[in-house]
Amino acid sequence: MRVYCTEELHPSGGDGTFYLAKAEDALSSLLSRYENSVRLIYLDPPFRTGESFKMKIGKGRQAQTVVLYEDKLDETDYLAWLERILRGCHKLLDPRGSIYLHLDYRMSHKARMLLDEIFGESNFMNEIIWAYRSGGRATRCYPRKHDTILFYRKSKKVLFNIKAVGTPRGPERRNHMKRFIDEDGRIGFSIRSNGKTYTYYEDSLIYPSDVWSDIEHLQQKDRERTGFVTQKPEALLKRIIAASSDPGDLVLDLFSGSGTTASAATKLNRRFLAVDQSPVACALLRRRQLGITSEPTLTENTAHALLIRYPADRTPCEIQTERSEKGGRRSVQLLKTTFSGKDAAPIYAATGYVDGACFHALHTNCAPKLPIVLPLPAEHTPVLHVVGVHGEQAFFTLE
C-alpha cells in the first residue's frame, strides 16, 4: 500500500535540513522558525544568463537529461525577485550575521545597489573577486575569468575571524630576507628597510585579500564533481564558513545546487539549512551528506541527523518486490520500478518506517542498480522509498 510523506529523516548526514522548494517560497517557513537566528547566508543564485541548465543522469541507454533550472527572467523581474529574497535574508540573520552573494559581471553591480539599500552602505564589507583559469578564450574582449562575491554584515557586531582562514607563511624566502632560528627554535626571516627591521616567522599566518586566485574552479575530472553544472568548489565555501561563523552556528544556502554549502558546513561542525527547487539538488545533497561520516562526539549521544522536507508526491508509481527472511532478519529485493506507466530504474532507494508524515530512513542506497536487496526494520511496519530520475518519489508499506 502506498503512503504519502512530507519529511525524510536520516540518523546521520547533518546537522541540517534541506527544503525542496523555490527560494522565495521557502522564506515564509524559514522566517517562522529561524528569524534573527542565522549566522551566515551564502547565495549562489542564477546569474541571469538567459540559459536553461541541464544535467545528464545515468549512463548508456538509461541516461536521461533533466532540467535543473531555467535562468531566463528579464532584468526587471530578476531584480524584483532578488530583492524579495535579500529582504528575507536580512530578517533571518542574527545581529552578528553576514551574507555573501555570489554573482558575475551581469548583475553584480545592480545587486550591490540592492544590498546597499537593504543592509545599508555602511555594512558593506568586501567585494571579493574569485579569479580562476577555466573556461573559454574570448578574442573580442578580455576573457572573463572571475566571479564577484558581495560580502555584507547585518550590523557592526558582525562575527569575522580572518585568522581562521590564514595559511602558514612557510619556508620560502622572500625579498632577499635573511633566514634565522630564534632562541625558541622557531624559523624566521628578517629584512632591514628604512632603518627598521621586519621579522616574519615560518609558522606565522598569511591572510587572504579580497582577490581569491588560490582556489581553482572545479575541473571536469575533479573527484569532487557531482555533475551539477554550476557547482562551486568546497574550498571556496570552507573559507567563507570558517571566517564568518563559529562551530555550531547556523548556515543557510537558498540555492543549494550540488550541496557544497551543506557539505562544507558539516565538515566544519556547523548546522545548515539548504533550499533548492530541483529534485536533482535534493538527490545530490542526500548522496553527499550520507557519504560524510557523522560520528557522535564525546559530548553527544547520537550522530547529527539529516532532515529533508518536500511536498507529498502523487506521481503514479508501481514496484515489483520479493520478500525474504533468513536467520530472523528480513529483507526486500526491489526488482522493478515504474513511474507514470514507464519502466525506469530509481536513482535512490531506502527502507525504514513511517511515523506520521515522516519517513525514518534506516537503510539507503544512493546509486541503486536493479535488482537490489535492502534490509527491513525488525520493530516497525517496513516501508520502501523509491525516487525516480526526475524527482518522482513514492513510499510503499511492505506488510
| pLDDT given for residue 302 in this prediction | 52
Domains in the chain: boundaries: 22-163+210-276, 167-205, 317-397
| pLDDT given for residue 177 in this prediction | 83
118 CB neighbour count, 10 Å cutoff? 17
| pLDDT given for residue 173 in this prediction | 67
d(CA 385, CA 369): 15
| pLDDT given for residue 301 in this prediction | 47
| pLDDT given for residue 196 in this prediction | 87
- 317-397 CATH pick, 3.40.50, 2.60.40, 3.10.170, 1.10.10: 2.60.40
| pLDDT given for residue 310 in this prediction | 97
Give SS3 for 77.
helix
d(CA 151, CA 145): 20
| pLDDT given for residue 175 in this prediction | 67
d(CA 164, CA 152): 18
Instruction: Render each residue's pLDDT in the chain as its tens digit; 399 residues.
Output: 999 999 999 999 999 999 999 999 999 999 999 999 999 999 999 999 999 999 998 877 778 899 999 999 999 999 999 999 999 999 999 999 999 999 999 999 999 999 999 999 999 999 999 999 876 778 899 999 999 999 999 999 999 999 999 998 877 766 678 888 888 888 888 888 888 888 878 888 899 999 999 999 998 889 999 999 999 999 999 999 999 999 999 999 999 999 999 999 999 999 999 999 999 999 999 999 999 854 444 444 457 999 999 999 999 999 999 999 988 899 999 999 999 999 999 999 999 999 999 999 999 999 999 999 999 998 899 999 999 999 999 999 998
| pLDDT given for residue 50 in this prediction | 97
- 22-163+210-276 CATH pick, 3.40.50.150, 3.20.20.80, 3.40.309.10, 3.30.930.10: 3.40.50.150
d(CA 316, CA 343): 12
Global pTM? 0.92
| Residue 50 backbone phi and psi in degrees, to 5 | 80, 10
Q: Residue 364: enclosing H or E segment and its boundaries?
A: strand 358-365
- 253: which DSSP letter? E
| pLDDT given for residue 189 in this prediction | 87
